[in-house]
Amino acid sequence: MPRWLIPLLILVTLIIAIEIYTFQVFKTISKSALIRFSFLAISVGVYLYFLLTILTYDRSQGQTPQFQLAMGILLTFSIPKLVIILVLFGEDAYRGGLKLMSAISSEETQSLVGRRKFISQVALGLAAIPFASFIYGIVQGKYNYKVIKYQLTFDDLPEAFDGYTITQISDIHSGSFTNKKKIQYGVDLINEQKSDLMLFTGDIVNNKADEMDNWLDVFDKLEAKEGKYAILGNHDYGDYMDWKNPQDKIDNFQKVKDIHQKIGFDLLLDEHRYLEKGGQKIALIGVENWGRGFNQAGDLQRASAKIKKEDFKILMSHDPSHWEEKVKNDDFNYHLTLSGHTHGLQMGIEIPGWLKFSPSQFVYKQWAGLYEEYGRYVNVNRGFGYHAFPGRVGIWPEITVIELKKS
């Protein structure tokens, strides 16, 4: 028996169980054969469309918008079913408890009570919330750009940089884009911040350099008064698709690096630059991708070899696990690290000052926003674009503006 067959059988069995369980809601609410058949037909259609996409998926093309759409449709119809299952399970536990109490009592054992129509209606109503959220996320949420501003104060910031502003963007993922007008709006919003410096922290494409061809004339309009700098992310290396031969991958990687020059960014490959203002300077360091479980090409020591320990330092490193595992405890003292990568999984709930949740937090300790330890900071940008899932639900695309202050 092939090794892959057992996991496949388990997955199919789980899907069938979920569908049968979810079907109980429609069975309880309505006796209409049309409604019941429609639910089954839609469910089967979603699975068949996703299966057809997987079977015809050409890995030499990377994750196309069509592939991402199939993933989006699957999640849009699957996540609400988990809500239904949770509610039904609660009621079934209640029904089972009544049955158990009846069985152990001295009175005549009562039959298992039926499901209540009201509870099924509640389950369906609650499931409508994530369903509508995912629809919104796919249609509009991925363009719901948010400008998030921070003011960070440091004792050893050179006085000339007091009030210096930085706009950070990350994870463009141009291979996912389909709407030029919306992307242009996001770029215009970036330029409206009028920051001194612009920093891009990786993943300009999904896999291939030509994904950026139709967007060069949009992103080359990005502006910053004192320069634009960039680093690479894990997707920029072309590791997530099949190449006809090794040389094609090498050539593509060079073209990805060349994109940054075409749109006016200085790409830092384990390098540093000194930023000067009023006769004073700070060090900007950029490393290649280093991530737990991902490409670990970045060499922090090499990038920092020609700067001094006492210099004020801003580090660009795509994956925040680098900060957690290598940077924050480094005696060289990297004052501020800028990362991206996680996208906040593009789904979650954020209510400022009260609630911040995404499944991404089970993988990354620093997964979205600003974090501080030992007086050192890391900002994890939620990303400008989107990938795999063609939308954003509750975790909106981000433009970060950081103002440096001298204490």
Q: Which residue has the tokens 């979650």?
A: 348
Residue 143 CA to residue 185 CA, distance in Å, equals 9
Question: What pairs with residue 398 in β-bridges?
Answer: 146
Per-residue burial over 48-81, b = 16 or more CB atoms within 10 Å of its CB, e = otherwise: eebeebeeeeeeeebbbeebbbbbbbbbbbbbbb
Q: Which residue has the tokens 């019941």?
A: 36
Residue 171 CA to residue 214 CA, distance in Å, equals 17
Q: Which conformational region is residue 360 in: left (phi greater than 0), alpha (psi within -120 to 50 degrees), or beta?
A: alpha
Token reading at 177: 């884009």
H-helix or E-strand spanning residue 166: strand 165-169
End-to-end CA distance of the chain: 67
- pLDDT (tens, 9 = 90+) of the chain, 407 residues, equals 677 778 878 888 998 988 988 988 888 888 888 988 899 899 999 999 999 998 888 777 777 888 899 999 999 999 999 999 999 888 888 888 877 877 777 666 666 667 788 888 999 999 999 999 999 999 999 999 999 999 999 999 999 999 999 999 999 999 999 999 999 999 999 999 999 999 999 999 999 999 999 999 999 999 999 999 999 999 999 999 999 999 999 999 999 999 999 999 999 999 999 999 999 999 999 999 999 988 899 999 999 999 999 999 999 999 999 999 999 999 999 999 999 999 999 999 999 888 999 999 999 999 999 999 989 999 999 999 999 999 999 999 999 999 999 98
Chain mean position to CA 44: 28
What pTM was estimated for this model as a whole?
Answer: 0.91
Looking at residue 404, what is its pLDDT? 98
Looking at residue 94, what is its pLDDT? 80
- Picking from 23, 13, 132, 135, the residue whose alpha carbon sits closest to that of residue 81 is 23
HSE (side-chain half, CA atoms, 13 Å) at 384: 29
Looking at residue 217, what is its pLDDT? 97
Query: Is 144-406 a domain of CATH 3.60.21?
Result: yes
Question: What pairs with residue 403 in β-bridges?
Answer: 151, 165
Secondary structure (3-state) at 152: strand
Residue 328 CA to residue 342 CA, distance in Å, equals 18
Residues of the chain within CATH 3.60.21 domain(s) are: 144-406
Looking at residue 9, what is its pLDDT? 87
- Picking from 285, 201, 271, 261, the residue whose alpha carbon sits closest to that of residue 236 is 201
